[in-house]
Amino acid sequence: MTILLGITGSIAAYKAADLASQLVKQGHEVHAVLTRAGAEFITPLTLQTLTRQAVLVSPGDEKLSWKPGHIDLADRADLLVVAPATANVLGNFANGLAPDPLASIYLALPRSTPVLLAPAMNGKMWLHPATQRNVARLAADGCTFVGPAEGDLACGYEGLGRLAPVDEILARISQLLANA
């Protein structure tokens, strides 16, 4: 199966390396798509090495083919996973905004392609009415969520907002692919 792994600007982005590695070990073709903020936390080279695929970060990376990379990947995807999914990306997806290749892929996906979002952010941000409105809209649009989990947060707080454990994300991926 072809899995697109979106990685956004959260300290939890480092866990995407383990997620990508596990998915490749399971036999999936994994294509990582980083937001610019995500690339501040984990390098494209790390993900390229783990997935054995070029990593899409900016529109300039899409010049490798006659077909725009975000369209090609959207057409080939069996599943889009965004882990971690920040409040920013949830807002972009919920409101149809496409400021980067990841959001462009989301908008170009066939409606039948499942989307799994694994939020990670400060608990106040997660519970903010605007974020919750975006989550409700995305759920109504057919997106599936895993997490966020409770525990120590990178900002020094404790509570809701941690990225779901990688094993939990992998289990949800298996469920979605089995039902696809």
Tens-place pLDDT, residues 68-121: 677 889 999 999 999 999 999 999 999 999 999 999 999 999 999 999 999 999
Q: Are 114 and 79 in contact (CB under 8 A)?
A: yes
Model pTM score: 0.93
Predicted local confidence at residue 73, as pLDDT? 92
Predicted local confidence at residue 46, as pLDDT? 96
Ordered domains of the chain (ranges, CATH): 2-179 (3.40.50.1950)
Residue 143 designated active-site:
no
Q: How many CB atoms are closer than 10 A to CB 132?
A: 12
What does residue 63 show for φ and ψ, rounded to 5 degrees?
-85, 5
Token pair in block for residue 88: 């920013």
Predicted local confidence at residue 64, as pLDDT? 56
Predicted local confidence at residue 155, as pLDDT? 73
- Which residue ranges of the chain lie beneath pLDDT 70? 59-68, 153
Q: Which of 139, 155, 171, 180 is catalytic?
A: 155
Q: State how far the alpha carbon of 140 is from the alpha carbons of 21, 52, 144, in Å.
A: 31, 34, 10
Predicted local confidence at residue 180, as pLDDT? 75
Question: How far does Cα 28 stand from its chain's mean position?
Answer: 16
Question: Between helices 69-76 and 101-108, what is the axis angle to 10°?
Answer: 50
